[in-house]
Amino acid sequence: MKNWKKALIIIICLIIICSALFLFLGSTTEEVGSNNLGSVDKVTYSYYGDAPVTIVIISGMHSREKLHQSVLPVVAQSFALTHRCNVINYKVNVTSSPNDFNIGRTNGESLVHDFVVKDLKENGGADLVIIGHDHEEGYGEDYYIATPTMDNASVELAKKVTSAIGFKHYQRNTNESIKSTSIINVDYPLLRTPSKVFVYEIPEVDGKTNAITRTCALVKASFNALS
């Protein structure tokens, strides 16, 4: 084999090894809690050390909703790789009645309340927490963000982000009493970690490729607004 061919092979091997090391060293996975309802894994993507923004993405809280669970982890890693932004993906794994509409949801919310809120509080919160969902046809329109806590910081950020990317922004009528248990058990405790909080809804009938594209746009617009 000619010398230049050997050199080329060595260079390609070095690039592959360095890329693998970069990917490996830039991400960590740890279980932050488990009980009889299920468990929560925390996957931290931090490729650029002192990144100025930290965005948290929660997936799997409502275990029957599948699309966001395949889309959000992909976006979390690819966004962190390409931006100076720490992205933490809490993956909720409900093992007790995951396919029961009401019990499964309540169990996922309980896991987020007990383990994600606790971990975030211990680590000083985040700039933004995005809670991922899929919604059925007829329940809300297209891609949208809701700000159930209706605190000024989350609402102002949501206004900036939705106007940049054309998502709808659902605001809760604060004159009405709170009916949803997830607002009390999940959204307000996350707000107090402290963090801004978005509820993010993907239409469950959409394809994965478009869902990834739209979710990337959401994370990028959030990052730009926070930077």
Q: Report the interface residues with Zn ion, using CB under 5 A.
A: 62, 133
Helices (H) and strands (E) in the chain, counts: 8, 8
Query: Is 71 or 80 the residue whose CB approaches Zn ion more closely?
Result: 71
Q: Phi and psi of 100, rounded to 5°?
A: -85, 125
Q: Phi and psi of 135, rounded to 5°?
A: -120, 150
Output the smallest distance, CB 216 to Zn ion, in A.
21
Output the smallest distance, CB 112 to Zn ion, in A.
11
Q: Taking the C-alpha atoms of 33, 179, 144 and 221 in order, what is their torsion angle to the nearest 10 degrees?
A: -60
How far apart are alpha carbons 137 and 214 in whole angstroms?
18
Output the smallest distance, CB 65 to Zn ion, in A.
5
Query: Is 133 or 214 the residue whose CB approaches Zn ion more closely?
Result: 133
Output the smallest distance, CB 181 to Zn ion, in A.
13
Query: Is 85 or 92 the residue whose CB approaches Zn ion more closely?
Result: 92
Q: Partners of 55 in the beta sheet?
A: 87, 128
Query: Is 53 or 183 the residue whose CB approaches Zn ion more closely?
Result: 183
